[in-house]
Structure 1
Amino acid sequence: MRNENMDVESSICQGNEDSGPSESGIKIPDRMLKREQDRLEDVERKKEAKNSQSVTEEKSGFFTATFSSERATIEELLEGCSGATDRALATQTLEKVTTKTQFLQKFLNDSMVFLPQYELRQAQAALQKLQNSLAEKRDEILPKKKFAFRSRAANTPKVDTPAPPVTPKDSGRTKVDGAISPPEQCGFSHFEAQVLTKSGAEIKQQDVLLTHLTNCKVRLLGSPSTIHIKHVQNCEIFSGPVSSSVFVDHCTGSTLSFPCQQLRTHHTTDTQVYLHVTSRAIIEDCQGVRFAPFAWSYLGLDQDFKVSGLDRERNNWNQVDDFNWLALGTQSPNWSVIPETERRTEWDS
């Protein structure tokens, strides 16, 4: 009997050689201690994940409610402009819509970090629709001020100078197309092989439209609110700081350079973009788009940065979202970074 007791005690001692002490003096095997520690850590991780998910859902819910409310307000204001007879009141309403749209753009940019991809794309599409509606409403209401067209043409001697030597009838029509935009929607349209310039006073906090340009050099020496670039080929388009967004559509073989809050590029090929962007750049249905940091300079650039409200220290020029390439961790083949040895070093103004 004594031998059996000694065998049991010996077995217990051997089993506890790798065990840790407990408060009661009974030794607990290390593997059990580790298992309990792992269990507690797992519980804590799940708790943190649940809390984080809850916070994200709350933020997402707040974003959806706020965005929908602001969107409805903007749509109501735009609807109120339809058929307006009081031009001054309609213009004032459009200015209010512009301010609200810019706020909505900033609100969306600030919310990108926590929004699900699907919800982000839906919001961006809705915002784009609002901005297009705003541009259309301007075209509907403001171009009726025909007396401003002649004044506009007189203020752009650089554009009009080449007119006399070439087919007067056609070139005259082209000049009208390029100059009819009122101050609220200024820009250049239907030009070929021209140097086109806008001063800071002409574009300050204005929406600028650049469309149907071929082999042109465009210089925007100031701080516009928004730039729309559509149907351009083999052009150089340089701009000062854009306080909200730049929209590019159907651009081929061109060089673009500007600071902005957000860049959205569609149907663009073989184009270089020298960019300063404080949120992110987005491309869709693009190929051969290459990026480098913004490097163009002109007299007054520092002041225009202040006017735009852009953060000069924050530049996400190489953080590009390709909506046609959603494979995480894999570089999109549709865009790339311009090697330093190939970047442009000479800029004219």
Structure 2
Amino acid sequence: MYSAAEVSEETGFAGESAAAKIQERLQRRNQARIEDAERRKEAKASQSVAEEKGEYFFSTFNKERASIEELLSSCSGADRAVVTQKLDEAAARTQQLQKFLNDSLLFLTQYNQRQAQAALLKLQTSLAETREEGLPKKKFAFRARTKAKDKVSAPVSDTPAPGGGTPADAGGTEVDGAAAQCGFSNMDNMHLTKTAEEIERQDVLLTHLTNCKVRLMGSPSTVHMKHIDSCEILCGPVSSSVFIDQCRNSTLALPCQQLRTHNTTDTQVYLHVTSRAIIEDCRGVSFAPFSWSYPTLEEDFTVSGLDRDQNNWSQVDDFNWLTTETPSPNWTVIPEEDRKTTWDP
């Protein structure tokens, strides 16, 4: 049996132990509140910094965009030499604006990224339209070929076509004006090539091609592909954007600043892109790093101004898939073992 003194001492120890535990819990709670307050403070400060960066970005971006638009507007009515100079300046500044956007993606929200990309796309379209209006190229009407003109006017390669002759000989009429300018249109089962000298930083148009193999060497300003079916299209470094619409069952290889793809299905894209690729209304699109090579590729990268070391080929924004919790089902990465590495014999 315990004496009264021993019981009193034991009870005192128990009380002190309970008080110590309560004090320890209070201290932990207080420390947790302090840490939570610090986290909130840091998050608020970080958000404030991001907002300040975002405000600076849009202020600078919109000011420069408006200035380029004003430069394009001043091309109206000017003589060809002045228009050429202004368009070259506008193209260079638009390219720098794209780089400014690329460098700012880390702190811009997806919504703000899309706003900026849409504004830049509109500016690039305006640039192309102003170039077409201010520096019109010679149009070609459909007409019967003569053998003497076939060797000069055919905008295709010298790859033999079935039955002999060049691919151009397989048809009976000239291609349309767009193809005669820079690009190819309305062709089936052709091997088609443009050299760096033919491209010369021009806007390239590929449209209504089926079962064709296309090689675009050099550095185009922009590339537009529309109504492409079962084709293999390989392209040198594009200084600004590539726009793809209505493409199916094809293989594409291209470096560019920006890729925007619409209404495309079952297509492989071997990509070098310095911003983020965009797809919309697409399914069955797969991506891998750009792997085509040709003798003057490195020189063309230099001409294009693309950063050889910055490739965001696997960073794809699907405008039909807004959630970030699960990946978009509309695009995939091509497994390494399935990627194409040999393009030409």
The TM-score, its normalising length taken from structure 2, stands at 0.84
Checking the alignment, whether the CA contact within 8 Å between 2:156 and 2:192 is kept in structure 1 is no
Q: Which structure 2 residues correspond to residues 1-349 of structure 1 after superposition, within 5 A? A: 7=8, 13-17=13-17, 29-82=23-76, 84-143=77-136, 154=153, 156=155, 158=157, 161-164=166-169, 166-167=171-172, 171-172=173-174, 174=175, 176-179=177-180, 181=181, 186-348=182-344
Letter in 2 for 1:30: E
Call closer, same or farther: CA 1:318–1:35 in 2, change over 3 Å. same
SS at match of 1:296: coil
Report the Cα offset of residue 153 of structure 1. 5.4
Deviation at 1:145, TM superposition (A): 5.5
Aligned to 2:197, what secondary structure does the other structure show? helix
Residue in 2 that maps onto 1:23: none
Distance 1:219 1:305, change over 3 A: same
Quickly say closer, same or farther: Cα 1:292–1:251, change in 2 above 3 A: same
Distance 1:177 1:243 in 2: 20
Distance 1:224 1:92 in 2: 18
Deviation of the 1:129 alpha carbon: 1.1
Maintained 8 Å contact 2:155/2:179: no
Distance 1:323 1:30 in 2: 52
How far apart in 2 are the matches of 1:117 and 1:229? 26
SS at match of 1:275: strand
Instruction: Give how far 1:130 is off.
Output: 1.2
Residue 178 of structure 1 contacts residue 191 of structure 1 at CA under 8 Å; is this kept in 2? no
Contact preservation (8 Å) 2:80, 2:134: yes
1:64 deviates by 1.2
Q: Structure 1 residue 155: deviation in Å?
A: 8.5
Question: Using a 3 Å threshold, how does the CA distance of structure 1 residues 153 and 321 change in structure 2: closer, same or farther?
Answer: farther
Letter in 1 for 2:327: Q
Q: In structure 2, what residue type is equivalent to 1:71?
A: R
Deviation at 1:326, TM superposition (A): 1.2
| C-alpha displacement of 1:175 | 5.8
Runs (5+) with no aligned partner, structure 1: 21-26
Moved more, 221-230 or 257-266: 221-230
SS across alignment from 1:242: coil
Alignment partner, residue 145 of structure 2: none
Are the structure 2 counterparts of residues 166 and 250 from structure 1 closer, same or farther at C-alpha, using a change threshold of 3 Å?
closer
The 2-side partners of 1:104 and 1:133 are apart by 15
Question: Which whole-Å CA distance do the structure 1 matches of 2:136 and 2:152 have between them?
Answer: 14
**How many angstroms does 1:176 deviate by?**
4.6
1:230-263, CA deviations, whole angstroms, 9 ceiling, x for partnerless residues? 2222211101222332221221221100122221
> Relative to 1, partners in 2 of residues 1:146 and 1:326: Cα closer, same or farther, differing over 3 Å?
closer
> Aligned partners of 1:67, 1:145: CA distance in 2, in Å?
36
Q: C-alpha separation between the residues in 1 aligned to 2:129 and 2:289?
A: 33
C-alpha separation between the residues in 2 aligned to 1:120 and 1:164? 47
Query: Structure 1 residues 207 and 114, CA, compared in 2 at 3 Å: closer, same or farther?
Result: same
Equivalenced residue count is: 326
Task: For residue 18 of structure 1, report the CA deviation from its aligned partner.
Answer: 7.0
- Partners of 1:201 and 1:15 lie apart in 2 by 93
Q: 1:243 touches 1:261 (CA, 8 Å); kept in 2?
A: yes
Shift of 1:268: 0.9
- C-alpha contact (below 8 Å) 1:273/1:290 kept by paired residues: yes
Instruction: Output the CA distance in 1 between the equivalents of 2:243 and 2:329.
Output: 21
CA distance in 1, matches of 2:273, 2:78: 40
Q: Which stretches of structure 1, 4 residues or longer, exceed 6 Å deviation after superposition?
A: none
